[in-house]
Chains A and B, each alone.
Chain A
Amino acid sequence: MLFNSLHYAFFLPLVVMGYFAFPARLRWMLLLAASYYFYMCWRPAYAVLIVTSTTVDFAMARTMAGTDRPGLRRGLLATSLIVNLGLLFFFKYYNLFAFTTNEMLGWTETPAAVPALDLLLPVGISFYTFQSLSYTIDVFRRQRPPERHFGYYALYVSFFPQLVAGPIERSDHLLPQLKTPQRFQPENIEDGLKLLLWGYFKKLVIADRLALYVNHVYGHSDAASSGQLVLATYLFAFQIYCDFSGYSDIATGSAQLMGYRFRANFRQPYLSANIREFWSRWHISLSTWFRDYVYLPLGGSHCSLKLWIRNIMVVFLLSGLWHGANWTFVVWGGLHAGYYLIHRLYSWCRPRRIGEPRGWFARGMSVIVTFHAVLLAWVFFRAGSVGQAGQILRRIATEGWRMTQGVQIPGFGSYELGVGLAAICLLLAVERFGAEDFRGLLQHRPQPVRWAFYYAVVLAVLNLGMFNNPQQFIYFQF
């Protein structure tokens, strides 16, 4: 079930009404049933994977908490890691592993030895696996007690608003909320609806519109002109941002209707003045996950320069690989690692000059440079292969902005481009001059101004949203 489907438009109000109509002690059952229904709409059989992950982690954490034997505790944690990462590896990375192994065997003229399997990637497996793992690791570190109620824990892993594409919530933040009966509060409904509205605006008006152009140009990159490749890359930067942050807004808004609050997943990432700032604003739940469960255990920055560089590289390469079973994502992660290292090393050398630009001009220039560094990495993220990305960059570098003799983009003319650019301007204006969180936007303005703005956004979504060309959320594939 997609957030941008009619199915969800009926599902969500029914669940919210049911939630407040149910007795408080039984609400977890309703939400758990709704969450599994939500997931099983896609492919019922793969619910078994969530059940397995949930059961194993719940049992391991309970047993872990009941013993002080360090060896046993480590063994239990290892079991949890092996089961969760094993499932993730098998469904997500097995074919990449088979392909790469066979390619390498091909270099030595050895026949292919690892058969490729016809596997369908279970939606959201990377998200719920990481969410479940964070709980087990927290219990292992004694940072939280184990959850005693299997139902609440199962709901924490499968809670439908964030099940398939995050935000990756931590157990210490979400579990206590799930266990606390939420009261009906009009403020929550109001804020939830605001976020849903803004999320749908980003997804339907901007992301799905830009997808028409980006998908076609990247799908026919040989025939596209270099100018089209440049434009498609710029548009992709906004497509993926609006698609993913739109998803996060819809997820957060859906949860808030029932009184639950998720942590912010995006905070105006394209207004970052350096790459470190970018990673504190982009996909925050994932970057903090890697920080807490990979970077810091490796030693973080409290180690030698060499080890610190290794830690940064490991985190970013893993983060790239987390996104998908393709070497393009690894290169994308590697590029970000490179940016990060360059920024940090440079800021250590000249802390006053680059640490925090003070003037608006200096900051503006830093924002532009950072955005273009991120843009360069997006080429690898979007391309189908490293070779294609290299070819696109080569053509952009050698042919410049040639717009003639490109490909015809079906369904995307000057009107679509104009609407897309206008919507991006509105988005940037809201982010730059409005509140960091859409819920707080215009809150100090008179009511007629606020209402006029919300009405305008509703009309924009209905009149300009791409309802008859629904695109799956990009992060569903991860």
Chain B
Amino acid sequence: MMLPYSRRWLSFCGGLLAILLVNHAGLEVLHRQLPTNRAQEMLDAPAGDFDVVVLGSSASVEAIDAEELEQQLNVSVRHLGARGTAYPEQHLILDLFLNQNRAKTLLFQVDSWGLSSTSYSHPFHEYFYLPFLDHPIIRRGLREYYGDGVVRRWAWVPMFKYAEFNSEMGTQAILKAWRASKNVRDKPRYVRSKRSLPEALIQRVRQGGMRPERDRDRTRQAYFERIVQLAQQRGMRVVFCVAPVFGARQERAIGADDEVLEFYRQYARERGIAIYEWGASDCDDPTLFADLSHLNAHGAERFTDGLAQCLRMDGRGSATGVAE
């Protein structure tokens, strides 16, 4: 028997809502059980006290060897570096970490492209954090960056966030997660390789054709400053390390953004923050780089050595770096 339209509509919409809620809840439960993303990894890790915490983008993942640093300095190190992240996401990562851990030193990797609005195609990987919107820090972090309306949609509309990011959080992500037992996204790719820069790329940089135009984004600068403030509020000593870039000391090379680097230097000077960066001889050595902005195994070893010396000297000087 045909139901009247209003009853049919109510039944259909009710059924649809129920199915969406079940779909949503299923994905929510699955994501919370799969330790495959950086937020899950951090939330699941037992609370602890660390001597050094490393924060940064992929440049820090490739350049700073946490185990090497632990051995050289005989301290506990936690590497929070995450690929493709700009300062806003790094702020959330640090905030989450400090919520249940304590640390003495923040080793903060900064880079010449970090303040540009055009660097990183997807600077904030919100989909890592969306299954945990009930966590107050994650919710606050996302709200501050995306706005209240967007976060409300993600939180209250069934399936909204899973539909919007279904390539990263949907069926495919879950299938991938079942195959991978832990977060593989932030593991160093080049550290174990001996790959060097290809000759063609070296020539292009030396001929001066690799310098992009960059703006200076206020939001990213504000988050950069908030990271430093957050660490200092928690009583941490902050040390900057500038991500090494091939040919950075040459004019017109990719990392030769002197204005931005000078901003970091001056910011560090004004606040008594130590800053570690490579000199021209290292930056011009193609055997240390896997690509223009990532070190290879040999480069990472040398960079970590220099960083360890800098930290050992309490940020007052360094053999290869510049420190204050």
Chain B binds chain A? yes
Which residues A228-268 have CB closer than 8 A to chain B?
none
State which of A62-70, A116-124, A456-464 sits at the interface with chain B: A456-464
The proximity string for B residues 149-166 relative to A, scoring 1 for CB distances below 8 Å and 0 otherwise, is: 000000000010011111
Q: Check B23–A463 contact: CB distance below 8 A.
A: yes
The proximity string for B residues 168-183 relative to A, scoring 1 for CB distances below 8 Å and 0 otherwise, is: 1011100100000000
Alpha-carbon gap, A88 to B164, bound state (A): 37
Determine which of A186, A462, A463, A467 lies in contact with B5 in the assembled complex, contact meaning CB atoms within 8 Å.
Answer: A186
B147 near A: Cβ within 8 Å?
no
Shortest beta-carbon distance, A404 to chain B, in Å? 22
Alpha-carbon gap, A352 to B168, bound state (A): 56
Please, could you name 7 A-B residue pairs with CB atoms under 8 Å apart, sorted by A? A186-B9, A455-B19, A458-B20, A463-B162, A467-B163, A467-B166, A468-B168
In the bound complex, residues from chain A placing their C-beta under 8 Å from that of B168 are 468
Query: Chain A residue with minimal CB distance to B167?
Result: A468
A407 near B: Cβ within 8 Å?
no
Q: Check A462–B20 contact: CB distance below 8 A.
A: yes
Knowing A186-B5, A186-B9, A455-B15, say if A468 contacts B164 (CB, 8 Å). yes
A415 near B: Cβ within 8 Å?
yes
Chain B: residues with CB nearer than 8 A to chain A?
A: 5, 9, 12, 15-16, 19-20, 23, 159, 162-168, 170-172, 175
A359 near B: Cβ within 8 Å?
no
Knowing A415-B175, A455-B19, say if A464 contacts B166 (CB, 8 Å). yes
Q: Check B165–A468 contact: CB distance below 8 A.
A: yes
Query: Chain B residue with minimal CB distance to A462?
Result: B163
Q: Check B166–A458 contact: CB distance below 8 A.
A: no
Shortest beta-carbon distance, B57 to chain A, in Å? 19
The proximity string for A residues 251-294 relative to B, scoring 1 for CB distances below 8 Å and 0 otherwise, is: 00000000000000000000000000000000000000000000
Query: Chain A residue with minimal CB distance to B24?
Result: A462
In the bound complex, residues from chain A placing their C-beta under 8 Å from that of B166 are 462-465, 467-468
Shortest beta-carbon distance, B28 to chain A, in Å? 14
Q: Check B171–A464 contact: CB distance below 8 A.
A: yes
In the bound complex, residues from chain B placing their C-beta under 8 Å from that of A373 are none
Determine which of B12, B162, B167 lies in contact with A462 in the assembled complex, contact meaning CB atoms within 8 Å.
Answer: B162
Knowing A451-B12, A455-B19, say if A466 contacts B167 (CB, 8 Å). yes
Query: Chain A residue with minimal CB distance to B127?
Result: A468
A411 near B: Cβ within 8 Å?
yes
In the bound complex, residues from chain A placing their C-beta under 8 Å from that of B170 are 463-464
Which residues A149-199 have CB closer than 8 A to chain B?
186
Query: Chain B residue with minimal CB distance to A469?
Result: B167
In the bound complex, residues from chain A placing their C-beta under 8 Å from that of B15 are 451, 455
Query: Chain B residue with minimal CB distance to A189?
Result: B9
Instruction: Indicate the member of A186, A465, A468 with the most B CB atoms within 10 Å.
Output: A468
Shortest beta-carbon distance, A213 to chain B, in Å? 14
In the bound complex, residues from chain A placing their C-beta under 8 Å from that of B12 are 451, 454
Given contacts A466-B167, A467-B165, 14 further A-B contacts (CB under 8 A): A415-B175, A458-B19, A459-B19, A459-B23, A462-B159, A462-B162, A463-B23, A463-B162, A463-B163, A464-B171, A465-B163, A467-B163, A468-B166, A469-B167
Instruction: Indicate the member of B163, B164, B171 with the most A CB atoms within 10 Å.
Output: B163
Shortest beta-carbon distance, A16 to chain B, in Å? 15
Query: Chain A residue with minimal CB distance to B2?
Result: A447
Shortest beta-carbon distance, A257 to chain B, in Å? 14
In the bound complex, residues from chain B placing their C-beta under 8 Å from that of A186 are 5, 9
In the bound complex, residues from chain B placing their C-beta under 8 Å from that of A415 are 172, 175
Q: Check A463–B19 contact: CB distance below 8 A.
A: no
Q: Check B164–A458 contact: CB distance below 8 A.
A: no
Alpha-carbon gap, A14 to B163, bound state (A): 22
Q: Check B171–A463 contact: CB distance below 8 A.
A: yes
Alpha-carbon gap, A461 to B164, bound state (A): 11
Which residues A404-452 have CB closer than 8 A to chain B?
411, 415-416, 451
Shortest beta-carbon distance, B64 to chain A, in Å? 27
Alpha-carbon gap, A28 to B165, bound state (A): 38
Alpha-carbon gap, A459 to B172, bound state (A): 14
Query: Chain A residue with minimal CB distance to B171?
Result: A463
Chain A: residues with CB nearer than 8 A to chain B?
A: 186, 411, 415-416, 451, 454-455, 458-459, 461-469
Query: Chain A residue with minimal CB distance to B166?
Result: A463
In the bound complex, residues from chain A placing their C-beta under 8 Å from that of B159 are 462
In the bound complex, residues from chain B placing their C-beta under 8 Å from that of A462 are 20, 23, 159, 162-163, 166
Instruction: Indicate the member of A454, A462, A466, A469 with the most B CB atoms within 10 Å.
Output: A462
Q: Check B175–A458 contact: CB distance below 8 A.
A: no
Query: Chain B residue with minimal CB distance to A209?
Result: B167
Alpha-carbon gap, A467 to B127, bound state (A): 13
Alpha-carbon gap, A411 to B176, bound state (A): 13
What 10 A-B pairs come out closest when comparing CB atoms? A462-B163, A186-B5, A467-B164, A462-B159, A415-B172, A463-B170, A455-B19, A467-B163, A468-B165, A463-B166
Alpha-carbon gap, A464 to B170, bound state (A): 8
Alpha-carbon gap, A455 to B12, bound state (A): 9
Shortest beta-carbon distance, B283 to chain A, in Å? 29
Query: Chain B residue with minimal CB distance to A456?
Result: B19
Query: Chain B residue with minimal CB distance to A466?
Result: B167
Shortest beta-carbon distance, B320 to chain A, in Å? 36
In the bound complex, residues from chain A placing their C-beta under 8 Å from that of B23 are 459, 462-463
Query: Chain B residue with minimal CB distance to A448?
Result: B15
Shortest beta-carbon distance, A447 to chain B, in Å? 8
In the bound complex, residues from chain A placing their C-beta under 8 Å from that of B171 are 463-464
Q: Check A458–B16 contact: CB distance below 8 A.
A: yes
In the bound complex, residues from chain A placing their C-beta under 8 Å from that of B167 are 411, 466, 468-469
Alpha-carbon gap, A416 to B173, bound state (A): 12
In the bound complex, residues from chain A placing their C-beta under 8 Å from that of B172 are 415-416
Shortest beta-carbon distance, A205 to chain B, in Å? 10
Alpha-carbon gap, A458 to B16, bound state (A): 9
Alpha-carbon gap, A455 to B170, bound state (A): 17
In the bound complex, residues from chain A placing their C-beta under 8 Å from that of B175 are 415
Shortest beta-carbon distance, A342 to chain B, in Å? 44
Alpha-carbon gap, A50 to B166, bound state (A): 38
Shortest beta-carbon distance, B149 to chain A, in Å? 11
Shortest beta-carbon distance, A59 to chain B, in Å? 45
In the bound complex, residues from chain B placing their C-beta under 8 Å from that of A455 are 15-16, 19
Alpha-carbon gap, A44 to B95, bound state (A): 43
Shortest beta-carbon distance, A185 to chain B, in Å? 10
Alpha-carbon gap, A424 to B172, bound state (A): 18
Query: Chain A residue with minimal CB distance to B18?
Result: A455
Alpha-carbon gap, A376 to B166, bound state (A): 34
Alpha-carbon gap, A464 to B165, bound state (A): 10
Shortest beta-carbon distance, A183 to chain B, in Å? 14
In the bound complex, residues from chain B placing their C-beta under 8 Å from that of A468 are 164-168
Alpha-carbon gap, A436 to B164, bound state (A): 31
In the bound complex, residues from chain B placing their C-beta under 8 Å from that of A465 are 163, 166
Shortest beta-carbon distance, B270 to chain A, in Å? 40
Alpha-carbon gap, A455 to B16, bound state (A): 7
Shortest beta-carbon distance, A413 to chain B, in Å? 9
In the bound complex, residues from chain A placing their C-beta under 8 Å from that of B19 are 455, 458-459
Shortest beta-carbon distance, B93 to chain A, in Å? 21
Alpha-carbon gap, A416 to B172, bound state (A): 9
Alpha-carbon gap, A23 to B292, bound state (A): 65
In the bound complex, residues from chain B placing their C-beta under 8 Å from that of A461 are 163
In the bound complex, residues from chain B placing their C-beta under 8 Å from that of A463 are 23, 162-163, 166, 170-171
